[in-house]
C-alpha cells in the first residue's frame, strides 16, 4: 500500500478515535427528574401537580385508594404527585412501609412524598392499654431513614424548580409536636428561600399554618395540628414574600367543611393555605394545582363521583417580585 494511502488512513483513524474519546458520560437522572424534564419540554402553558392528602396505607378502603391512582395515571398532563405526609397507616411499621411501596409502584407519575407524624413518631408496639407510644430518638431516626429508602430520596426535605416556581418539600422530623421541623431543617429552609428570593415559592408540609382553618373541631389550630415551630416559621415567611402558597394535610379537612376553601385560608394576607382531606375514607378527594406563569389555579376532584367540584375552584395570583 502506498505511503499516501497509509497517511490518509492514519488521519482518519485519529479523527475517529478523537471523536469517540471526547464524548463525556453523564449519569442517567432519577426517574422523577427524568419525567419532570420530559414534561418541561412539552409545549404547554401550565404544570399540573396532584396532591394526595394523608394516604394512611394500607388503611381503610384500599380499593378506592387504588382507583385514585388509576385515575391520576389516566391524566396525561400530570407532571408530579405530592403526598403530604402520613403515608403509613398508623406507626410506620415495616408492614406499612411495604404496603406503601407496593401501592405507589402502580403510580406512573413522579412521586414526591414528605414525612408525617404517622410515618416516624411512634414505636411499632402499642402500650399495654393499646395506645400509641412516642418513639425514642433512635427509633425516630431509623424510621426517617426507612422513609428515604422506601421512596429513594436523598433526604427527607428538598426542593425543585418547576417552570417559574420553586417547590419546597418539608418533613416533620422533630417529635416535640406532631408536626414540627427541626432546627437544622429550619436553617436549610431559610437558606434556600434567601437564595431564591425572586422566585415565586410553594411550600409543602404535613400541617397547615396556624389560623388558616376555623375552629371547627377540638383539634384545629391547636399546637399539635399546626406547623411548628410556629413562631420561627412565621418569622421566616415574613422575611420571604415570594412564598405565596402553603399546601398541607394532617387535619383531614374535607371539602364538606366550610373553611376548606375560604378567605380564612389566607395567612398574614399573602400566603394561601391549601388544605387536603385524607384518603382513609369512602369518598376521596384530591386537589390539583395548575401552575401558570402568572397564577395558580386549584381544582378539587371527587373520585367517588368522578367530577371536578367547580364551586371550589380557586385562582391565586403569583407574587410580583
- pTM across the whole model: 0.86
Q: Give the whole-angstrom CA distance, residue 69 versus residue 59.
A: 15
pLDDT for 28 equals 28
Tell me whether residue 47 is in a domain: yes
Range of the domain at 137: 29-317
Tell me whether residue 280 is in a domain: yes
Average pLDDT for the chain? 89
Helices (H) and strands (E) in the chain, counts: 7, 13
pLDDT for 16 equals 34
Could you say which residues of the chain have pLDDT below 50? 1-43
Tell me whether residue 12 is in a domain: no
Specify the number of domains making up the chain: 1
Tell me whether residue 2 is in a domain: no
Tell me whether residue 212 is in a domain: yes
* Cβ neighbours around 252 below 10 Å, total: 20
Q: Give the whole-angstrom CA distance, residue 113 versus residue 116.
A: 9
CATH code assigned at 65: 3.60.21.10
Tell me whether residue 129 is in a domain: yes
Tell me whether residue 125 is in a domain: yes
CA 7 to chain centre: 61
Tell me whether residue 43 is in a domain: yes
CA 196 to chain centre: 19
**141-193 pLDDT per residue, tens:** 999 999 999 999 999 999 999 999 999 999 999 999 999 999 999 999 999 99
Cβ contact 39:76 at 8 Å: no
Q: What angle do CA 119, 279, 48 make, to 5 degrees?
A: 95
pLDDT for 35 equals 38
Q: Give the whole-angstrom CA distance, residue 125 versus residue 137.
A: 15
pLDDT for 7 equals 43
* Pairing verdict, β 158-162 and 314-317: unpaired
Amino acid at each position: 500500500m502506498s505511503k499516501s494511502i497509509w497517511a490518509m488512513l492514519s488521519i482518519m483513524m485519529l479523527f475517529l478515535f478523537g471523536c469517540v474519546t471526547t464524548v463525556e458520560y453523564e449519569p442517567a437522572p432519577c426517574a422523577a427528574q427524568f419525567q419532570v424534564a420530559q414534561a418541561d419540554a412539552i409545549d404547554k402553558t401550565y404544570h399540573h401537580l396532584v396532591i394526595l392528602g394523608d394516604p394512611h396505607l394500607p388503611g381503610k378502603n384500599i380499593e378506592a385508594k387504588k382507583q385514585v391512582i388509576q385515575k391520576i395515571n389516566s391524566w396525561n398532563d400530570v407532571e408530579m404527585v405530592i403526598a403530604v405526609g402520613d403515608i403509613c397507616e398508623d406507626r410506620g411499621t415495616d408492614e406499612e412501609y411495604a404496603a406503601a411501596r407496593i401501592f405507589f409502584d402502580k403510580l406512573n407519575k413522579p412521586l414526591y412524598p414528605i414525612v408525617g407524624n404517622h410515618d416516624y413518631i411512634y414505636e411499632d408496639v402499642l402500650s399495654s392499654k393499646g395506645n400509641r407510644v412516642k418513639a425514642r430518638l433512635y427509633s425516630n431516626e431509623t424510621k426517617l431513614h426507612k422513609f428515604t429508602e422506601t421512596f429513594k430520596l436523598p433526604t427527607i426535605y428538598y426542593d425543585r424548580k418547576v417552570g417559574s416556581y420553586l417547590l419546597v418539600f418539608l418533613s416533620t422530623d422533630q417529635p416535640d409536636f406532631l408536626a414540627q421541623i427541626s432546627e437544622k431543617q429550619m436553617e436549610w429552609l431559610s437558606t434556600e428561600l434567601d437564595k431564591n428570593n425572586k422566585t415565586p415559592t410553594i411550600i409543602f408540609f404535613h400541617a397547615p399554618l396556624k389560623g388558616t382553618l376555623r375552629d371547627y373541631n377540638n383539634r384545629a389550630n391547636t399546637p399539635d395540628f399546626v406547623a411548628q415551630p410556629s413562631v420561627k416559621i412565621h418569622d421566616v415567611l415574613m422575611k420571604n414574600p415570594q412564598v405565596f402558597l402553603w399546601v398541607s394535610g394532617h387535619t383531614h379537612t374535607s371539602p364538606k367543611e366550610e373553611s376548606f376553601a375560604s378567605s380564612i385560608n389566607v395567612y398574614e394576607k399573602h400566603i394561601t393555605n391549601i388544605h387536603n382531606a385524607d384518603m382513609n375514607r369512602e369518598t376521596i378527594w384530591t386537589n390539583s394545582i395548575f401552575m401558570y406563569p402568572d397564577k395558580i389555579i386549584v381544582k378539587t376532584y371527587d373520585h367517588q363521583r368522578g367530577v371536578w367540584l367547580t364551586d371550589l375552584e380557586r385562582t391565586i395570583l403569583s407574587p410580583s417580585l
